[in-house]
Amino acid sequence: MQIIDKIAWLHLHDGKLLSTRSRGKDRYYIPGGKREAGESDEQTLRREIREELTVELTTGSLCYEGTFRAQAHGHAEGILVMMTCYSARYEGTLQPAAEIEEVVWLTYRDRPAVSAVDQVIFDWLYERQLLRA
């Protein structure tokens, strides 16, 4: 079994979750990405968010939220994604950059439009009454 290791930023506002869509993709994904060699979770997340959304996560504000697993979207059966999620404050103005074409705020009703691992995270947030229906 192959596992894709990803780090993600859970940013909620008014019961909506920040999400992104990359150019040429048909699904929304929680912002974040894969670590580069030798990077910590924090280094990975700070780099990815800076590259994708042009904001800086506030030093010392990262809070571990959970680790979630599911079939990797667009990959062969049995390839899983393991998403380690953090919340954090940020400085700057959110805007799409690099491969990101769209930045959106999603509610639970948007669950069908996200990847399988994001659906698991949507369920978890909804059960905790953090994500609006």
pLDDT in tens, 29-70: 999 999 999 999 999 999 999 999 999 999 899 999 999 999
The runs of H, that is alpha helices, within 4-131 are 41-53, 116-127
Give the CATH number of domain 2-127; options: 3.40.109.10, 3.40.50.2300, 3.40.1280.10, 3.90.79.10: 3.90.79.10
pTM of the model: 0.93
Instruction: Give CA torsion, residues 125, 127, 132, 133, to 10 deg.
Output: 130
pLDDT of residue 74: 82
Domain ranges of the chain: 2-127
pLDDT confidence bin for 19, thresholds 50/70/90: very high
pLDDT digit string (tens) for 100-110? 999 999 999 99
Q: What is the mean pLDDT of residues 103-124?
A: 97
Which residue's entry shows tokens 């079939």? 71
Which residue's entry shows tokens 């680790």? 67
How far apart (Å, rounded) are the C-alpha atoms in residues 34 and 39?
10
How far apart (Å, rounded) are the C-alpha atoms in residues 89 and 59?
9
